[in-house]
Amino acid sequence: MYKNKIWLSSPHIGSNELQYVNEAFATNWIAPLGPHVNAFEQALQAQTKSSHAAALSSGTSALHLALILLGVKAGDTVFCQSMTFSASANPITYQGAAPVFIDSESYTWNMAPELLNAALAEAKNNGKLPKAIIPVHLYGMPANMEEILAIAKEYDVPIIEDAAEALGSNIENKPCGSFGEYGVLSFNGNKIITTSGGGALLSENAEMIEKARFLATQARDSAPHYQHSHIGYNYRMSNVLAGIGRGQLEVLNDRVEARRNNFETYKNYFSKYNNAGFTINFQEAPLGYYSNRWLTCILVDPALNNGLTREIIRLSLDEENIESRPLWKPMHQQPIFANCKSYINGVSDKLFEEGLCLPSGSNLTDEEFDRIFESLDHIFAKYQNS
Ligand SMILES: *Cc1c(COP(=O)(O)O)cnc(C)c1O
């Protein structure tokens, strides 16, 4: 019997996006910039309690511009969370700089402050502090910003906050993306809201955001002809896509609520098995941390689950046309970064080995949840006290 695919995280359009896009068409504001871009930037500033935002073509381009604005160049090092998507680290290499990877703490799964501290102490001893530190709010869970900021301040190294997965998350009501010198957002198709592709750079520094906009539009000097005294990029968001973004931002709260409900639904479901001989673990939110729960992820240690592994679960779900995915493979394990320095404590290795992201779209239906739970029930039945 054919069953529709259940996706890990698919776009979920609200009711006003098309109207904004139509408006762009009707007024012929198709060409790159326009009123939607300005309005989207203002809405982003309000949402993230940031003074300035530049709408860009991707989260990756936002990270790249942040590194440029901080003067990262060939021969420099940048500290980056190891447990993340490669786009957190790739832009470091665009600048000819070298990433140094920092492992995670076991509750939030994000950058471990004590390892960061050790890495900075060693760097200082060697006379070569990094130019920036990139913590990530993985799957929407805020990193331990209080400690990370305090440590970074002690060594006077700026923070670029990769909040690509964490729009709508906060720590004690301070939004993710607003903690560092720069914050980065992504509106890629699988993120909590999407412009089909896009990103933003956030900062308190007006001058630097203005410079980001300048660099992102080919760095044209003010002259009637095309004159350039900087290397430029084509990194701006188009007015049509910003229209989608405006509509999506209006429904962000609903999307966060739906994803947080997904997490609770899964947690309830697994608690039944956790009371019956299994131990399925989750990403834990410390007190005061509010995660958008972009993706619900579980950890399955075979030693605690009668030999059941996350890979057995993934393959069984796949047979039912249900998409799930291992957690990010840490950067220090990636072939392309094999020669990079890293500070490792075993946490991200274990997360990668045992972790699985479950279908988490804000548009998941009750029927889809029933199908997921039915498949999982079959798997658990096979491993019950075997
Ligand atoms: C998606 C993502 C990015 C990159 O964003 P794009 O808009 O796809 O370029 C960067 N970092 C993390 C952690 C992400 O999940």
pLDDT attached to residue 33: 81
CA neighbours closer than 13 Å in the CB half-sphere of residue 157: 28
253-382 and 15-252 share a CATH fold:
no
Q: What is the pLDDT of residues 85-105, one digit of tens each?
A: 999 999 999 999 999 999 999
> Mean pLDDT throughout 376-381?
97
Q: Which residue reads 């274990």 in tokens?
A: 350
The minimum-distance atom of ligand 1 relative to the CA of 137 is 13
**The predicted structure's pLDDT at residue 31:** 72
Q: Let me know: does 259 contact 363? Beta carbons within 8 Å.
A: no
Higher pLDDT, 3 or 43: 43
d(CA 110, CA 80) in angstroms, rounded, equals 11
Categorize the per-residue pLDDT at 2 as very low, low, confident or very high, splitting at 50, 70 and 90. Answer: low
* CA–centroid distance, residue 5 to ligand 1 (Å): 24
CATH 3.40.50.720 fits 253-382, yes or no: no
For residue 30, the model assigns a pLDDT of: 80
pLDDT tens for residues 248-272? 999 999 999 999 999 999 999 999 9
Confidence tier at 3 by pLDDT (50, 70, 90): confident
From residue 298, alpha-carbon distances to 274, 282, 359 in Å are 12, 5, 11
Q: Kindly report, residue by residue over 5-56, the tens digit of the pLDDT.
A: 999 999 999 999 999 999 999 988 887 788 999 999 999 999 999 999 999 9
* Residue 386, pLDDT score: 56
Which amino acid belongs to residue 209?
Answer: I
Residues 6+ apart with CB under 8 A from 217: 32, 33, 232, 234, 235, 236
Which is nearest to 289 in space by CA: 182, 191, 176?
A: 176
165 lines ligand 1 (CB under 6 A): yes
Q: H helices of 49-89, where? A: 59-69
SS3 265: helix
> In sequence order, what are the residues at sequence separation of 6 or more whose Cβ sits closer than 8 angstroms to the Cβ of residue 109?
83, 138, 139, 141, 283, 327, 347, 348, 351
d(CA 311, ligand 1 centre) in Å: 25
pLDDT tens for each residue of 298-308: 999 999 999 99
Helix or strand run (H / E) with residue 53? strand 52-56
**pLDDT of 66 above 90:** yes
Extents of the domains making up the chain = 15-252, 253-382
Q: Choose the residue to mutate in 86, 108, 162 for probing ligand 1, maximizing ligand atoms within 8 Å of C-beta.
A: 162
> Whole-angstrom Cα distance, residue 216 to residue 57?
9
pLDDT at 287 over 80: yes
Distance of CA 312 from the midpoint of ligand 1 (Å): 28
**Tokens 């979920």 sit at which residue?**
12
- Average per-residue pLDDT in the chain? 96
Q: Could you say which architecture CATH assigns to the domain 15-252?
A: 3-Layer(aba) Sandwich (3.40)
Q: Give the number of the atom of ligand 1 that is nearest the alpha carbon of residue 187.
A: 7
Q: Which two tokens stand for residue 232?
A: 């430029």
Per-residue pLDDT, averaged over 271-276, amounts to 95
| Cα–ligand 1 centroid distance for 329 (angstroms) | 14
Q: What pLDDT score does 89 carry?
A: 98
CB contact set of 272 (below 8 Å; sequence gap of 6+):
none
pLDDT-derived band at 1 (thresholds 50, 70, 90) equals low
Q: Tokens 């039912």 appear where?
A: 320
Ligand 1 near 164 CB (within 6 A): yes
Instruction: Show the tokens assigned to 276.
Output: 């019956």
> Looking at the predicted structure, is the pLDDT value of residue 370 above 70?
yes
Q: Is residue 161 in contact with ligand 1, taking CB distance under 6 Å?
A: no
Does the CB atom of residue 294 touch ligand 1 within 6 A? Answer: no
Kindly give the distance from the C-alpha atom of residue 3 to the centroid of ligand 1, in angstroms, as a whole number.
30
Pocket lining: 58 vs ligand 1, CB cutoff 6 Å: yes
Instruction: Answer yes or no: is pLDDT of 62 > 70.
Output: yes
Give residue 88 CA to ligand 1 midpoint distance, Å.
Answer: 7
Q: What is d(CA 300, CA 306) in angstroms, rounded to the nearest whole number?
A: 10
Task: List all residues 6 or more positions away from 116 whose beta carbon is below 8 Å from its beta carbon.
Answer: 79, 102, 133, 148, 151, 152, 343
